[in-house]
Structure 1
């Protein structure tokens, strides 16, 4: 199977494609739906409740949402259910697609069944993160990246991830261990995405160990290792922490809400990711799943509502025109920082997952 990964140019193209309350999406006609239920596994705040209510009213299809906070949990659940999944749609990031596809968990997307496919921003219709062997897997939803977030009232501006290790912020930082381990490798001049380590396990292990040992030596800087966007948001609101590695969405939401925080991409760089809705192989309600996907693409107001709730940038056409100036500014980056973002790759994911998971456990236990 061939993995198509994003180049720097495609990263910039997607970032420039558009950033993104739900206005009524109009009448959504149920042309193909046969089932009256659609089961969706997704992240908190990704699907606006007002959209769900309108969709159910217009189609008669009940939307059942099961929340997740981790790609691995979705994968494990689908794998355990095997040929009789209980889910119709899952929310996968582009760099994890290969793992799901090789396990026969996702079906190629039939874009011909989506009359609103053209309402995606042009850069996202052929997003390389969702294209495997010429087939499209998933409807692009939201774009995000790993960013440096700081409380502007209590910290000075920094252009480096090194701020996370400064003595003045002892017991005032936070991060997701597995995510920040990869960023620490990047900070140290190594490949935190393991692409260049394909077939070089000894070099990969040495780089992983270097980052692991560095984070262990700086554990005194960490107030708490967090697990969810809501958790790190609350720590900033409570002023429990001043600096953190975060996903861009939770920080953008804090900025929209008026909190004194800043989101940036340090000079060492960072990693980006694209969320998509994906049709499950042998899902129980595939017709209803396509009806749902077509409806969610129907209006930029829906994409704007998703952005307002999650803080992540929308892949839908016209969302930037719906958002207000403050909302657009919350997700904007200077051009030089945009250039520092590279998409996570699906290349060599098994090695990366194994080494990162082991090192993460060792950091937490130290």
Structure 2
């Protein structure tokens, strides 16, 4: 009877532990699914590794296999998404490169048009310059009007002098004055021509300088546009990297918090299991001590109609781990092989008299004197009722 009671207690204890393991399994599996949905794969793998050790029946194993499949499918989806993102980034970079090349080509075309408009005023030369068949520095301004030469002026003067030779003597002074005036005029015209040539040279130099500055400004704008595009691309990449780092850090923080909570739950569950084991061990030890120390005896009681009763006193063992106990006993006549087993429910053991102590009738009454009845304690167990 004692062995059966202990086995029953152990079964109840194992049932409690199995329920705790079942709850732990379900909690770990739920956490694994949460981690899979949040794509925290290291967390999911850790939870599934723990839950696998607690999967007992076929339903648990099916749930475990389903979660593992979900983890594998989510990993595949993440890998495919990474490939898609990488392809999209490559496409964007290629588009950015083409846009940059188009801007560079447009900037060069703008520079060419500026040079052709400034240096090639003749339409045919402008078209050839725009087609890059003519260097803009080799264009002319289209002004080919001939200037009257000094030789022609002298020829006219000589003709006039031959025609008026008859009058030279009378008008010699006037002729000399005219010659001097013409010489002065020629010098003035030559000086004016030199001034015009210098002015044209200055204007040409100024135009070339303006063209050079225009080219420099166009190059500077092109370079600035290129640098701006690169800066924007670098800033976009930096923003993406910062966002990715922030997401990774948040995921790592969540995973750490989850691991801390899981560790705390595991420690609490282990503590509860240890407490249950300690309680069961203490109860077993207490009941064994009662079995060793309690003495029972048989006696008759007034008004008991001749029946034999079992009485006894329970030892004062502290701490009283089990407050209510049943005593399993065996009553046997001396020098007799027959015996009677019984259970004394709710044994208090305050005394051995019939009024203050516990009395349990021995059924059937042994076939010997009450003084010859020997009562032994077989075991103690927690109260059944």
Output the TM-score relative to the length of structure 1. Answer: 0.17
Relative contact order, higher structure (CA 8 A, sep 6+): 1
Decide which structure has greater strand share.
Answer: 1
Largest Rg, 1 or 2: 2
When the two structures are superposed, what TM-score results if normalisation uses the length of structure 2? 0.17
